[in-house]
Amino acid sequence: MDTITIKDIARALNLSTSTVSRALRDSYEINAETKRQVVEYAERLHYRPNPIAVSLKENRSRVIGVIVPQIANLFFSQVINGIEAVAYNRGYHVSIFQSHESYERELATVQQVVARKADGLLISLSSNTVDVSYLRQLQEKKLPIVLFDRASKDLDVPSVTADNFAGAFAATEHLIQMGRRRIAHVAIPASISIAQERLAGYRFALEKYGIPYDENLVRHAGFGPNEVEPIVNDLLIQSPDAFFAASDRLAIGCLATLKKWNIAIPGQIALIGFTNITVADLLDPPMTTVEQPALEIGQVAAGRLIDLIEGKQKTVSSDPVKIATRLVIRASTQAGL
């Protein structure tokens, strides 16, 4: 292997490794000339310190581990972009991993990342994760952790999420103001923290407008490939006049099912997805959406984590940060109503 080490430089310049080492970092009392020599030589040979050796020595890695349920999801991939932007600026590398909505893989991945001395963890919990004790243990070992999007009430850890309650409220209220009264809600799995918040926002809007809550109009869908259609079919039996879908995937599932039954959405069904769908404008009629500030969530989460890592946050104020969502009303949805 011809990767060059501090030792090579030392030998070439007739110096000790410690002198070279010092010359390359703190100029902690080192002869200017020696330093110049070393730095120049190192430069010329493209010397790069071995991060593995440094990690072993210093017990850290300048790496932030990011674990998301799945990457094939515009929301998460955008959050990651936000994370990277901040982390990169502050001198950290970001390693990305997927839990594939599996508790076991989440656990294994986190263990691996921690074993590799990541300086901190940014996690969005898998839908199957109920036992978060492994995270609590890491937290007790002083490992900086920040949750985003999918947090856990069983964990006293800082979290950054969209304001799901307000977003769901806005979506539902919009539908109500368009004259709808029987609004079906296709929800994400109840085990996910934000499912409750979205449901609460939905219920609160109904309440505000004096519409009774009908549990038959609410169904949770999992992540299986063909789970949405039967659920939408069931909901259709309740003859809803609108749909509030709690995610991109569910919104698409709704649309597909409605299309299959040839139900014209504008006249009879209004649909709002809690989404980042980029093609919402292309649909006919365009879909009104609640957009999550994914980029910002990532940026804020990364910022908080790095503050924790660098000890700028003495008090770990674990009060959740809520980032405002945005209701995007597409023209002809309104027209259609």
Partner DNA sequence: TTGTACGCGTTATCAG
Partner DNA sequence: CTGATAACGCGTACAA
Chain residues binding DNA by CB under 7 A are 1, 3, 5-7, 14-19, 21-22, 24-26, 29-35, 48-50, 53-54, 56-59
- 93 forms part of the interface with its own copies (CB under 8 A): yes
- 256 forms part of the interface with its own copies (CB under 8 A): yes
Site for its own copies in 281-310 (CB under 8 A): 281-284
Please give the Cα distance from 218 to 220 (Å, whole number): 7
- 89 forms part of the interface with its own copies (CB under 8 A): no
By beta-carbon proximity to its own copies, the closer residue of 114 and 166 is 114
Q: How far is the CB of 76 from its own copies (least distance, A)?
A: 8
Q: Which does 58 bind (CB under 5 to 8 A by kind): its own copies, DNA, none?
A: DNA
Residues in the chain: 337
Using CB under 8 A, which of the segments 28-36, 190-198, 232-240, 275-283 binds its own copies? 275-283
- 264 forms part of the interface with its own copies (CB under 8 A): no
- 255 forms part of the interface with its own copies (CB under 8 A): yes
Please give the Cα distance from 13 to 22 (Å, whole number): 14
Please give the Cα distance from 181 to 4 (Å, whole number): 71
By beta-carbon proximity to DNA, the closer residue of 34 and 95 is 34
Using CB under 8 A, which of the segments 146-154, 206-214, 277-285, 302-310 binds its own copies? 277-285
Interaction site with its own copies (CB under 8 A): 1-2, 48, 50-53, 55-56, 59, 61, 70-74, 77-78, 80-81, 84, 93-98, 100, 111-112, 115-117, 141, 252, 255-256, 259, 277-279, 281-284
